Structure 1
């Protein structure tokens, strides 16, 4: 599949079990775990199955564990190198803020309990959930039930206790603009003693990013995947483009992966036009200098259009999994890797 200006998504696997959108895709124990999602555009009931993709061997299998959560528009994070924790999402009837976990050692799904003092959101879907450590997450998004939604975005710290199988939300003092279907990127701040900040992109009509958390030097212990070859390729790609302080406007349900100092965004649905709204653009946010700059690399290949998909970084490669294609209804059964040939 040919892209433009030095990049392409190359198909490496295809299986109907992968055909879904608004799912989660999480790397755990060198495998990608796909949970739930919608099996076609416009579907009302989310899937409750879990599929595992082995990127080294290319095999796809359905997990036979019963009791999987029926979820879409949720988030999932690895905890303790063992648990896959699913946070919030839509179950076909309501938005949830609960935590359920797949214990990959025992092969069972567990509904974790709310700890004393838990102050949960009213409900979450199309939110973000970012690991700050193995037991602490930062959740950002517009909360609400099926009938009401807040007109601003809320930010929560979610603490997990795998030993007790419990979770606890605490609302932070800051609010963001109302966002849904946005992405979050935990990036280092420039300078001799770099800290970290959590930036939110998209999910509303604005092109502006927002900070949903800031941590000084040494506070964040989370280890990011090492991808030296991909970082070098991204550096070469942006050197061929023209940077701008203006990011993509009105983009939602896109993917975002952090690769060193870069946030790599792809696809999504644009709010700026009523028809042909599924996108196939590649955006790279470069934080190596201040101010950080956006680089836009459009694509002429309509077969690359995706929304509700996921990207995962593994073994120095960026993988694209699932999503709705250009017709706005058909789920893609492919796994692709990003090829850069500058």
Structure 2
């Protein structure tokens, strides 16, 4: 059995074109995948017959590990590794969030805990990476309340840092199921939240969050503009002829998209990820379908990743049904023409339903990480790669 698992892992490495890499100094422990959990082997199953989610696309599993089994977590790329932070292990309402950081090496297909629980437990939070070093955690649910505080993991030292509020800080009451988008190394844009304030049920506040890694300080400033009330939505920083705009959608029983910020081209200092092969594959995928001007209606807690001129949206839960709410549909937002178009690719495989998951782009591949499955409460321990027509 052990030899079979090693063969499967090696097969995934060969298909992904990966090999050995230089180890980073903040590694603490490393395990060849897949692993055993409670004496039960979590075998990796590779094959379109079992994992296909659509006639022209599929999520193909590459690793399976109990460390990845979580939902409402965050996932970011830092120095070539996917870092998962926080989240929930089950759908139990009283369960405390996780506070550990797990790294997935897409080259070696290994999992490791790079930072144990440092006391800052979070779910329904958001994260950005500063200077390819600090994993900056913004807001979230700590098990007792919604918070707006900022804490950071210094990945070079493997230590958590609790940053201080600046003198002009004007924070939200609390944040969860919000979005936090990086505008530069010193400026972030925060939109929406779950909330009980009366105005928050009608409107979603927009905040500019300033951060300074040198002084380890942060401060919020509420913007005059607002969007419709949203939580569990997505935010897409998209380039257009005049510069950039932050487009938000989902998180409410509506298909409306709204702009939560505009910037000139010289104001955005975010390095775009080059993904020519995946961009070409997405272009071929949408060329076979007819697009729509309408965004998905009533979708929340979906994943969304910008890939070149496209945004790839997957899963989530729908507000338009009372039962069987977890989804497994793929949507592609094509911005190459004005107005942009949405393309819908449904799926017949119930096993690939996901909510509270993440997608992450690295090395021309889109990874699907964690989330609850079809029942909305069982975490998925797999990491998969999106496959589209070659």
Give yes or no for TM over 0.5.
Answer: yes
Structural RMSD (CA):
1.5
Q: Do the aligned residues in 2 keep the contact of 1:180 with 1:204 (CA within 8 Å)?
A: yes
- Identify the structure with the greater helix proportion: 2
The 1-side partners of 2:116 and 2:330 are apart by: 36
CA distance in 2, matches of 1:314, 1:12: 14
Determine if contact 2:151/2:163 at 8 Å carries over to the other structure. yes
Deviation at 1:144, TM superposition (A): 4.0
* 129, 142, 146: which one aligns with 1:95: 146
Measure, in 1, the Cα distance between the counterparts of 2:195 and 2:333: 30
User: Could you tell me which residue of structure 1 aligns to residue 272 of structure 2?
Assistant: 224
Instruction: Specify every segment of 5 or more residues in structure 1 that has no aligned partner in the other structure, as ranges.
Output: none
Matched residue SS, 1:324: coil
How far apart in 2 are the matches of 1:147 and 1:62? Answer: 41
Assess if the C-alpha contact under 8 Å between 2:246 and 2:259 holds in 1.
yes
**Alpha carbons of 1:158 and 1:22: their partners in 2 closer, same or farther (altered >3 Å)?**
same
The answer to whether the 8 Å contact 1:122/1:143 transfers is: no
Moved more, 65-74 or 321-330: 65-74
CA distance in 1, matches of 2:362, 2:339: 29
Q: Are the counterparts in 2 of residues 24 and 74 from structure 1 also a CA contact under 8 Å?
A: yes
Does the 8 A contact of 2:152 with 2:163 survive in 1? Answer: yes
SS at match of 1:63: strand
Larger Rg: 2
Q: CA deviation at 1:80?
A: 1.4
Residues 143/301 of structure 1: CA separation in 2 closer, same or farther (3 Å cut): closer
Shift of 1:270: 0.2
Deviation digits for residues 39-65 of structure 1, max 9, x if unmatched? 012343111221111111111111244
Distance 1:219 1:35 in 2: 29
**Looking at both structures, which has the greater relative contact order when contacts are Cα pairs under 8 Å and sequence separation is at least 6?**
1
1:142 and 2:193 aligned: yes
Closer, same or farther: CA 64–210 of 1 in aligned 2, 3 Å: closer
Alignment of 1:97-136 (within 5 A): 97-136=148-187
Report if aligned partners of 2:83, 2:101 keep a CA contact under 8 Å in 1: yes
Q: Provide the C-alpha distance between the structure 1 equivalents of 2:199 and 2:207, rounded to a whole number of angstroms.
A: 19
In the TM superposition, structure 1's runs of 4+ consecutive aligned residues that sit over 2 Å from their partners are 63-66, 142-151, 216-219
User: Aligned in 2, Cα 1:47/1:153: closer, same or farther, shift over 3 Å?
Assistant: same
TM-score, normalization: structure 2? 0.84
Gaps of 5+ in 2: 1-50
Match of 1:170 in 2: 221
1:250 aligns with 2:298: yes
Residue pairs, 1:159-198, within 5 angstroms: 159-189=210-240, 191=241, 194-198=242-246
Q: Which of 131, 142, 165 is the matching residue for 1:80?
A: 131
1:341 matched to which residue of 2? 389
Name the TM-score, length of structure 1 as normaliser. 0.96
Shift, 1:145, TM fit: 6.0
Q: Which residue of 2 aligns with 1:30?
A: 80
**Per-residue deviation, 1:148:** 9.0
| SS of equivalent to 1:283 | strand
